[in-house]
Amino acid sequence: MAFAQKLSLLTCLHFLILVSAYGQKAKDFTFPNGAKAAICLTYDDGLPSHVQTVGPALNKYGLKGTFFITVNSASLQDDMDKWRALATAGHELANHSVYHPCRKSLPGMDWVRDYYNLDGYTVEQVLAELKVANGYLQALDGKRARTYAYPCAHLFAGGVSFKDSIVQVATAARGVHDLLVPIKEIDLNNVASYAPNGVSGQELIAYVQRVIEQQTLGTFCFHGVGAEYLSVSKEAHEELLQWLAGHRKEVWVATFEEATGYVKANRN
């Protein structure tokens, strides 16, 4: 065999070995109990429907959720015992700031109050506020570790990104950009999520099926359920929960803290 042919054959064999090794490496990550994917059910702002509707529905189907609470929420003040009961039942109480500051300079953000305008914050102020929220939540559930969700999905304070600084106050952070990526590419300081509004139960389930197809981590960002704003109906929400409860072998439903902690510990 000519030298050039031998070299070509060796190059092809080397390529096939690399492809095989890469494919094996990609399959190295496994979810608990042999599931194909993971889903986090998260709920923002600390709304009355979360303790009145969502908590009982999750408990009914044996599923755990994550509640990203803005700690000046009226519901948190009025129904503190119910929020504490969620934590006792195994649900996650997570940080969504004290005052829900957002960037008023962006389109459609005229509703943001001047004194909660993230454009006027410094990164130090953001972190200080999140530490206060962490302390408040610790008083409710006794836990020190906390995850975080960016209000309005805004990651800049005073024009400076605080995404990389979030590790000082949170083990992981959730954004609101519906971009499913492989496990190895997930940015744990800005995890993607799908924020449904007025959709059907079948549309919610379709998102989970996309996550399963891509064998990755998917996150719902709910607000109101059967009430309030950016809401889905109670019926659509319950249809999703019923489907998830019936597909436990395919999809692992975990709190945001559990899922991101598992990814961090196992994807390498």
User: pLDDT category, 217, cuts 50, 70, 90?
Assistant: very high
Q: pLDDT by residue (tens digit) across 146-180? A: 999 999 999 999 999 999 999 999 999 999 877 89
Instruction: Say if residue 47's pLDDT is above 80.
Output: yes
Region of residue 147 (left: phi > 0; alpha: psi -120 to 50; beta: else): beta
* pTM, to two decimals: 0.89
Query: In the chain, at which residue ranges do the beta strands (DSSP E only) sit?
Result: 37-44, 66-69, 92-95, 148-149, 156-157, 160-161, 173-174, 217-222, 251-253
Six-digit token pair at 37? 């994917």
Pairing of strands 251-253, 37-44: parallel
Q: Please report the pLDDT score of residue 150 as a whole number.
A: 98
Six-digit token pair at 52? 């009145």
State the average pLDDT for the chain: 91
Six-digit token pair at 69? 């609470």
Q: Phi then psi for 247, rounded to 5 degrees?
A: -130, 40
Q: pLDDT by residue (tens digit) across 89-111? A: 999 999 999 999 999 999 999 99
Q: Phi then psi for 175, rounded to 5 degrees?
A: -100, -165
Query: What DSSP assignment string belongs to 87-123?
Result: HHTTPEEEE--SS--B-TTSTT-TTS-GGGBGGG--H
Q: What are the structural domains of the chain?
A: 34-266 (3.20.20.370)
Q: Can you say whether the dihedral through the CA atoms of 225, 195, 94, 129 is positive or negative?
A: negative
Instruction: Say if residue 19's pLDDT is above 70.
Output: no
Six-digit token pair at 241? 């929960």
Q: Please report the pLDDT score of residue 27 as a whole number.
A: 56
Instruction: Say if residue 268's pLDDT is above 80.
Output: no
Q: Please report the pLDDT score of residue 25 as a whole number.
A: 42
Q: Please report the pLDDT score of residue 179 as a whole number.
A: 84
Pairing of strands 92-95, 66-69: parallel
User: What average pLDDT score do residues 43-62 get?
Assistant: 98
Q: Give the DSSP letter of residue 204.
A: H
